[in-house]
Structure 1
Amino acid sequence: MEEAEHKQHHDHSHSHNVALLTYGLGLLIYLVALLTPIGAVTKNVFYAVTILLSGYHVIWEGIIETIAESKEHHSLRPNVHILMTVATIGACIIGDFNEGALLILIFAGAHFLEEYAEGKSKREIKGLLALNPTEARLVAEDGSVSTVAVSALKTGDTLKVLPGDQVPTDGKILNGHAVLNESAITGESMPVEKSSGDIVFGGTINQHVAFSMIVTKDSSETVLSKVLHLVEESQKNLPKAATKIKKLEPTYVLTVLALVPLFIVLAPYIMGWTYYESLYRGMVFLTVLSPCALAASVVPATLSGISNLARHGVLFKGGTYLNNLADIKVVAFDKTGTLTKGEPEVTDSFFLPFKDHSEELMINVLVQMEQSANHPLADAILNHFSPSNQFELSVSTELGKGLTAVYNDHRYTIGKPSNHSELPESLRAKVTQFSQEGKTVVVFGIDGTPVGVIAMMDLPNKNAKAAIKHLKDSGVHTVMLTGDSTVTGEAIANQLGIDEVIGNILPEDKASIVKDLQKSNGSTAMIGDGVNDAPALVQADIGFAMGDGTDVAIDVADAVIMQNDLRRLSYAVLISKRLKSIVWQNIFFSLAVIALLSVLNVLGKMDIGLGVLAHEGSTLVVILNGLRLLTTPLLKKQASLH
């Protein structure tokens, strides 16, 4: 199957390259015919060759797509490609091969630009596959350990997981304690301590001592495998979102194809024209009704918007996503690393007096103890406190309990509040307050007496609040999706002004929640940075990855926000809304020009030359209007992006 897919991709790439080559050759032949003094017949031959070389790809694609769309909707659904084909043939029938060739060159050129902007190649998930564990340490009945393939494991097998190892598959801890980095799976920024009977997930990292586990799921049923499956399935079933111009195509083309033959037949009776004049006027209609300006209404403006955003740190993988961003009703955010900095910081500390210990001495001991710990919480404490004195301590670590040290005949401890059966009233109040605020709390004790609390939290991204306010002012509903507790999520959400929080969720939950948001609210964007966000990013109508996030998130997302600056999301929404406005301006202008030229043709005031001039002039105006997006000035609030 993979070989077949590879061959299909190779064939598509080869066909695309051939089409580009023949387009370029056709363009060269057109320029030769236009700029060299050769005979009229020879020029027309050259123009006809240009039409065949430069247009065969879009003409054939138009026929195939029309057949497919018509079958799907059980009615005739011609597209602009078909109308372009008829218009080109019509121009040739009335002897203006030059106009026919020019129409094909413009339309085919716009088509290739749109293909490039949309990035039709399949998004790779090699980075995600690389995270799937491939080997495990299997413990035999005699206690010996051997390395086996994860795919060979079965439920009930006993495994050994060493420090630094990936957990091979989902299971339960048999004995020992573990400190696991589960951020890639659950999105939880804090390492998680686990003991006998606790569930562990395949793909997470053992950060501390070795432990034994029992396999509880087949390798194809693990959480990480579900992530892989969801991404692959979503990619296979991605609908091609239609732009406004795409939605107008069938009606526009059917109307033109119906009216022009009717006009040719009835004009001699209604207008008193000869049949030749009626045919001539009909061909003029096909010329002035050709959709060059209409086709150019979207692509140049979209490419300009994409270029503008790229300069300001938002990289879009396709124009459709930028076009549709203006219509987003909901934005769902991952918490860790997207709305927050992705690492804990000390937010509060509180110490009680204790005998001969000053607060300065307590902090010095605290820092010396944490210097021996290999834990993100230790990093937060060390980054926050500055010791006034350095000295040697004998520190021991008890998994599930914390740190213990002895100095000057005093025993010091750092651990969870639950390690102490009783806390002084003032400390208990602080622990309750900090916990309700979604903070992680550790207690510092001396000789078995709790004397201090330190609160830590993964703090909000400094630019998130302004971005969320801009979204809400635009009528967009904001939702936080997090693997953390709802309490922790709401603590961050309250600071940022987020409308809704959904906590305690796993990766497969995120994708289904985004699907529910799409059903209940409409078009939904998802913003995340981790492997665990990949299914939701693909499920969303538009998926944004944070630039400092994982390669997997960036690979599967539709757009990337560089430097994790959410103000760039606000700017992208601004550009998208302006793009939407410009596109509609172009569409209305194009249709107005077509209507004017049609009226003039009926009144006998239009010939081929004037029609070409007005038609191509309107196309140029539409393109220049779209290029205005290249120089759209930043809002004052956005001026600090660089």
Structure 2
Amino acid sequence: MTTSAKEQFVEKVDWTARFELIAAILSGLFILAAWLLSKNGTEAFSITLYILAFLIGGYAKAKEGIEETIKNKELNVEMLMVFAAIGSGIIGYWAEGAILIFIFAISGALETYTLNKSHKEISSLMEMQPEEAWLITEDGSEQKVPTASLSLGAVLLVKPGERIPVDGQVLSGITSVDMSAINGESIPVTKQENDELFAGTVNISGAIRMTMTKPSSETLFQKIIAMVQNAQSEKSPSQQFIERFEGTYVKIVLAAVVIMMFLPHFLLNWDWTTTFYRAIVLLVVASPCALMAAIMPATLAAVSNGAKRGVLFKGGLHLEHLSSLKAFAFDKTGTLTTGKPVVMDFIVRKDTNPKEALALFAGVESLSNHPLAKAIIQYANEQEVIPERNLHIEDVPGYGIKAETDNGMIRIGNPRFVGIDLVESFEDGIAETLANEGKTVIFMRDEHGIVALAALKDTLRKEAVTSIKELKALGIRTVMLTGDNEKTAHAIAEEVGVDSYVAECLPEEKVVHLKKLLKNYETVGMVGDGINDAPALATATSGIAMGEGTDVALETADVVLMQNDLNRLSYAIKLSRKMQRIVKQNVFFSIAVIAILIISNFMQVVDLPLGVIGHEGSTILVILNGLRMLNKIE
């Protein structure tokens, strides 16, 4: 989106809010002036001012009502208000009709304010997207160009203090990058050659060259913006029901008003003035303005609240679903765990120097790109051990690595590769103990037996345990679905505290188990981050993806945890449940007010001024109650 498009987007929203508020204020001033003039006996001029209050205050809502009526070929709430105001004027109640329009305009301005708050996160995200980038041309010079003109593979220069313009990879240079716009973390992350970069994040320290890997229209920022926009435009089932009900209800009200204009005169001996007056009051008090405002403001405020705190909902439907979930299934790697194994134990043969063994171990693994190999090299660096070089190795896929050293052949790999008997006898069977703790064990052997072993483990996310506890406190059952073996799965399940787990689970099997959970619990959420989780995310009642997950997971999920913080999951559920409580309060309150006012009108207890205040006052209270969703959930 270009800068001008951003400005137009923000200006359009701001102008609508300003216009409605100014119109409402002017309408109120005209009403006050008309009332003061009527006290001085200048009735004709006061009526003129009341009519001006009608036109100025009611313009926005009347225009909206007429356009919607023409578009849908069906009357709506806005048209009922127009009819009520006109009817009030016809029977000489100019002040009451003008006050009706004034309060209606105020409630409309409040609704627009809610929309503004929900759009705020989008406009702030838009501001983070650089519109220009330094393109390095074929002759090596730098040229500032629009990001929209860049193509895949473009080489860019990013200077210190600038925002990274597109998603890509570091080509050369080392720097620190402020990733807070993406993951919410305030601590800068070091980026060097081949590391991934995201548009909108800030290059802090060094100048780097980068290669563009995704079109500017498909950056993570664009996806975030699209998610929030879709969430705002997609209505919840409750809102859709209310809007479908609106057309029928308006017809019922108009029919009741017509009956009210004649029937009481003949059945109850009311005079024609009273009959017509009570029909107009009925038109005012029976209008479902409060009911129509019961859901949307609260939903928009909740979406805005979540976006502000790193939880993106793709629509009101998914926000509503979260409140009813009875169980959650979790992927393990990258979701409950960091997905990055670390060396937990390094044990050597009694007659072996630990540093020499680690140098040889790391030297062999330095020639591999396997995640476990990287973990061992990282461990050697932490121990300040320099890996041995100039080794001749042979990769044996599925088993391990052979290496020729000055002291003979060594093997590094799993028990089958180095010898199961040797593994079982090494250090009194320590390998089995480590495996039972959920650790992956790699062995190194020479011609005399096992030289050393490295026990690695994928560590839990620091917030995983507290997140599971919070979900249990909310009455939600937790299940872990993982492709790991039984021992590793059991150890992780015990550590994180889930209610149950399923081990050695292939992607298609995750869907099978999820369907079983759906059968038992009816509504189930799935949390994952990888391509293999996408089918399960799509199957679940609500699919929740980790923000650093794959594109497929992000696109399939209904909710995204942008900060990769599992604690946001319980926050999202609390947010959804609070929204449902507020919606129910609004619906019951608005229906009760309408019922009381209708009965009171029929009993001739409520006059038009009180009916206007009761009706429009309840609408404002409902909107204000919905705006409570903007507050942080404790």
- Equivalent runs, 1:126-205 vs 2, <5 Å: none
Q: Please, which moves more after superposition, 338-347 or 313-322?
A: 313-322
* Residue identity in the other structure for 2:249: V
TM-score normalised by L of structure 1:
0.64
CA distance 1:530–1:286, shift in 2 (3 Å): farther
Shift of 1:343: 1.7
Match of 1:302 in 2: 299
Identity %: 35
Q: What is the CA–CA distance in structure 2 between the aligned matches of 1:54 and 1:244, rounded to whole Å? A: 18
The count of residues paired between Structure 1 and Structure 2 equals 485
Contact 2:344 2:457 in 1 (8 A): yes
Q: What is the CA–CA distance in structure 2 between the aligned matches of 1:481 and 1:598, rounded to whole Å? A: 56
Does residue 378 of the first structure (1) align with residue 373 of the second (2)? Answer: yes
Q: Please, which moves more after superposition, 615-624 or 375-384?
A: 615-624
CA distance 1:62–1:569, shift in 2 (3 Å): farther
Which SS does the other structure have where 2:401 is aligned?
strand
Match of 1:402 in 2: 400
Q: Which residues of structure 1 form unaligned runs of 5+?
A: 1-16, 65-80, 120-234, 635-642
CA distance 1:333–1:117, shift in 2 (3 Å): farther
Cα deviation 1:179-213 (Å, max 9, x = unaligned): xxxxxxxxxxxxxxxxxxxxxxxxxxxxxxxxxxx
Match of 1:326 in 2: 323
Which SS does the other structure have where 2:563 is aligned?
helix
- Equivalent runs, 1:412-561 vs 2, <5 Å: 412-424=410-422, 425-427=424-426, 429-447=429-447, 449-485=449-485, 487-511=487-511, 513-561=513-561
Contact 1:464 1:567 in 2 (8 A): yes
Shift of 1:546: 1.2
Cα deviation 1:337-369 (Å, max 9, x = unaligned): 111101222233333324xx2334322322232
Match of 2:172 in 1: none
Q: What is the CA–CA distance in structure 2 between the aligned matches of 1:493 and 1:247, rounded to whole Å? A: 44
Shift of 1:556: 3.8
Q: What is the CA–CA distance in structure 2 between the aligned matches of 1:315 and 1:118, rounded to whole Å? A: 13
Q: What is the CA–CA distance in structure 1 between the aligned matches of 2:12 and 2:510, rounded to whole Å? A: 42
Shift of 1:318: 2.9
Q: Please, which moves more after superposition, 337-346 or 271-280?
A: 271-280
Which SS does the other structure have where 1:423 is aligned?
helix
Match of 1:154 in 2: none
CA distance 1:402–1:313, shift in 2 (3 Å): same
Which SS does the other structure have where 1:379 is aligned?
helix
* Residue identity in the other structure for 1:526: M
Picking from 57, 61, 64, the partner of 1:54 is 64
* Residue identity in the other structure for 2:495: Q
* Residue identity in the other structure for 2:585: Q
- Equivalent runs, 1:203-218 vs 2, <5 Å: none
Contact 1:482 1:502 in 2 (8 A): yes
Which SS does the other structure have where 1:443 is aligned?
strand
Q: Please, which moves more after superposition, 420-429 or 242-251?
A: 242-251
Match of 1:353 in 2: 350
Contact 1:439 1:456 in 2 (8 A): yes
Shift of 1:414: 0.9
Cα deviation 1:313-348 (Å, max 9, x = unaligned): 223333343333221112222222111101222233
* Residue identity in the other structure for 2:584: W
Shift of 1:514: 4.1
Which SS does the other structure have where 1:527 is aligned?
strand
Shift of 1:87: 4.9
Picking from 350, 357, 360, the partner of 1:365 is 360
- Equivalent runs, 1:623-638 vs 2, <5 Å: 623-632=623-632, 634=634
Q: What is the CA–CA distance in structure 1 between the aligned matches of 2:353 and 2:257, rounded to whole Å? A: 94
Which SS does the other structure have where 1:605 is aligned?
coil
Which SS does the other structure have where 1:243 is aligned?
helix
Q: What is the CA–CA distance in structure 2 between the aligned matches of 1:351 and 1:412, rounded to whole Å? A: 14
Contact 1:34 1:43 in 2 (8 A): yes
Does residue 93 of the first structure (1) align with residue 87 of the second (2)? Answer: yes
Shift of 1:418: 0.5
Contact 1:601 1:607 in 2 (8 A): yes
Shift of 1:470: 1.3
- Equivalent runs, 1:8-47 vs 2, <5 Å: none
Contact 1:243 1:324 in 2 (8 A): no
Picking from 239, 249, 271, the partner of 1:253 is 249
Q: What is the CA–CA distance in structure 1 between the aligned matches of 2:500 and 2:118, rounded to whole Å? A: 34
Cα deviation 1:188-240 (Å, max 9, x = unaligned): xxxxxxxxxxxxxxxxxxxxxxxxxxxxxxxxxxxxxxxxxxxxxxx9xxx97
Cα deviation 1:494-536 (Å, max 9, x = unaligned): 2222233344445455456545543442222222222333343
TM-score normalised by L of structure 2:
0.65
Which SS does the other structure have where 1:543 is aligned?
strand
Match of 1:293 in 2: 290
* Residue identity in the other structure for 1:374: N
Q: What is the CA–CA distance in structure 2 between the aligned matches of 1:628 and 1:370, rounded to whole Å? A: 56
Match of 1:603 in 2: 603
CA distance 1:63–1:540, shift in 2 (3 Å): farther
Match of 2:341 in 1: 344
Q: Please, which moves more after superposition, 249-258 or 285-294?
A: 249-258
Q: What is the CA–CA distance in structure 2 between the aligned matches of 1:539 and 1:275, rounded to whole Å? A: 62
Q: What is the CA–CA distance in structure 1 between the aligned matches of 2:379 and 2:402, rounded to whole Å? A: 21
Shift of 1:63: 5.1
Q: What is the CA–CA distance in structure 1 between the aligned matches of 2:320 and 2:465, rounded to whole Å? A: 25
Q: What is the CA–CA distance in structure 1 between the aligned matches of 2:565 and 2:67, rounded to whole Å? A: 41
Shift of 1:288: 1.6
Shift of 1:455: 2.3
Q: What is the CA–CA distance in structure 2 between the aligned matches of 1:291 and 1:517, rounded to whole Å? A: 40
Q: What is the CA–CA distance in structure 2 between the aligned matches of 1:20 and 1:572, rounded to whole Å? A: 28
* Residue identity in the other structure for 2:626: G
* Residue identity in the other structure for 2:269: G
Match of 1:124 in 2: none
Shift of 1:610: 2.4
Cα deviation 1:374-426 (Å, max 9, x = unaligned): 22111111223425566545240322242333444243321111113442434
Shift of 1:98: 6.9
CA distance 1:544–1:412, shift in 2 (3 Å): same
Which SS does the other structure have where 2:605 is aligned?
coil
CA distance 1:352–1:379, shift in 2 (3 Å): same
- Equivalent runs, 1:231-246 vs 2, <5 Å: 241-243=236-238, 246=241
Q: What is the CA–CA distance in structure 2 between the aligned matches of 1:534 and 1:115, rounded to whole Å? A: 33
Cα deviation 1:592-628 (Å, max 9, x = unaligned): 3323333432332323332222322222222333333
Q: What is the CA–CA distance in structure 1 between the aligned matches of 2:604 and 2:528, rounded to whole Å? A: 60
Which SS does the other structure have where 1:55 is aligned?
helix
Match of 1:72 in 2: none
